[in-house]
Amino acid sequence: MFNKLLAKKTQHLIGLDIGTRYVKAILLEQHKQHITLLAIACESINGHAFADREIKDYEALSQALKKVKLSLKSKAKQVAIAVSGQAVINKLAYMDDDLTDIELESQIEIEADSLIPYPLEEIYLDFERLGPSASYPNKVEVLLSAVHKDIIDSRLTLLNEVGFETKIADVEVYALANAVMRFTATSESINDNSGPLVDKVVQCCINIGASQLQFCAVSDGKVLYTKEHNFGLDVLTQDSCSNFNLTRIQYEQQLTTNSLPESWHRDCYMLFQANLQQHVTRAIQMYVSSTHQPSPQQLLICGAVGPFQNLARELNQELNIEVQIFNPLLGMQSDDKNAELITSQGANFAIAVGLALRGFAPCHI
């Protein structure tokens, strides 16, 4: 089960975000209310190591993990990883609120047999007690998360060989939500001293990855909603490489140095930006429909958005809502040598940060 990998309290836990194109790692240290960035690394994965989030090229991923370990220059070995995609199933269950943890765990296995469409012996299963249900009296909401054992085990084997020790297996979109809850202050109640507290502010965030848009909504320290959508920056990469006869490495180098052909913006980027806006709009509509919450007035975006300096402003204009880049590394204490990386790529470390934060408090999911 997932919880065999969970740690009650872990010091110097590396947040290791294994994406389909890059491996990102971050090591944090907490001093009271201050977070210090001890080490950070990002290495590309050669070729196409994944297919539908399953590892296909173990050697390519192993090489990237080894480079990350060297780049961190740390003796820390314990890591928190995360999984995503269709192999991960999240379901909400409603259980009696007077059950002990042991009773709840037994009941969860019974519920999972009907909620999870796979044999229990083929999955890792974990749960998190979320709190009292607003819809059903005397019930608590319990989040079930399940993933195929092969997805976890293949990662554990690789990490073991590289020299990492996996302590926590998380779900990517919940790691993202964890970072949003820790590094935004919008979940506070508002009181102007002239009346009662108004409703808790809901903060929505979309992580723009290579193949996914990961949407989360949080409020008052709780995750209200999560959803993954199949669209990402690979669409722009493939279109750009095809149009200008570039390899992926050449495209990324020219994108970083702002040396792509003059027609790239018109021929490739504008179409991608329009498609992205449509997918973001659809993601927001699904969130509103599912939660019956009002449409957000503010949206955070993160992921590999560093090279697209105008993206937030463009989405702001198209969506007619305030869009901001979410960079959880800003404001952290860090060596000056990391300043440029924090500014240019910090938004791409949101999931890694959410994973690293798991070492500071007990957790399930």
Which residues are within 8 A (CB) of 279 and not within 5 positions of it... i.e. 6 or more apart? 213, 229, 231
pLDDT in tens, 260-309: 999 999 999 999 999 999 999 999 999 999 999 999 999 999 999 999 98
One-letter amino acid for residue 97 of the chain: D
pLDDT band at 362 (very low <50, low <70, confident <90, very high): low
Q: What is the 3-state secondary structure (H, E, C) of 7-76?
A: CCCCCCCEEEEECCCEEEEEEEEEECCEEEEEEEEEEECCCCCEECCEECCHHHHHHHHHHHHHHHCCCC
- If one counts every other C-beta atom within 10 angstroms of the C-beta of residue 345, the result is 19
C-alpha span between 252 and 308 (Å, rounded): 12
pLDDT in tens, 44-86: 998 888 877 788 889 999 999 999 999 999 999 999 999 998 8
pLDDT in tens, 221-244: 889 999 999 999 999 999 999 999
What 8-state DSSP symbol labels residue 4? Answer: G
pLDDT in tens, 80-116: 999 998 878 888 888 888 888 888 888 888 888 888 8
C-alpha span between 130 and 132 (Å, rounded): 7
* Whether pLDDT at 365 is above 50: no
pLDDT at 3: 45
Taking residues 155-166, report their average pLDDT. 94
Taking residues 165-191, report their average pLDDT. 79
pLDDT at 188: 41
Lowest mean pLDDT among 15-19, 133-137, 203-207, 328-332: 133-137
Give me the phi and psi of 194, to 5 degrees please.
Answer: -110, 0
* Whether pLDDT at 364 is above 60: no
Taking residues 347-356, report their average pLDDT. 97
* Whether pLDDT at 7 is above 60: no
Q: For residue 209, what are its two tokens?
A: 């990855």
C-alpha span between 124 and 4 (Å, rounded): 9
Domains of the chain: 1-87+151-183+327-365 (3.30.420.40), 185-325 (3.30.420.40)
Taking residues 124-130, report their average pLDDT. 85
Q: Using a CB cutoff of 8 Å and minimum separation of 24, what contacts does 56-64 make?
A: 58/154, 58/158, 61/18, 61/23, 61/158, 62/158, 62/161, 62/162, 64/22, 64/23
pLDDT at 11: 59
- Nearest of 35, 41, 36 to residue 15 by alpha carbon: 41
pLDDT at 185: 56
- If one counts every other C-beta atom within 10 angstroms of the C-beta of residue 188, the result is 11
3-state helix, strand, coil in the chain (%, to 5): 40, 30, 30
pLDDT at 34: 84
Beta bridge partners of 171: 83
- If one counts every other C-beta atom within 10 angstroms of the C-beta of residue 128, the result is 16
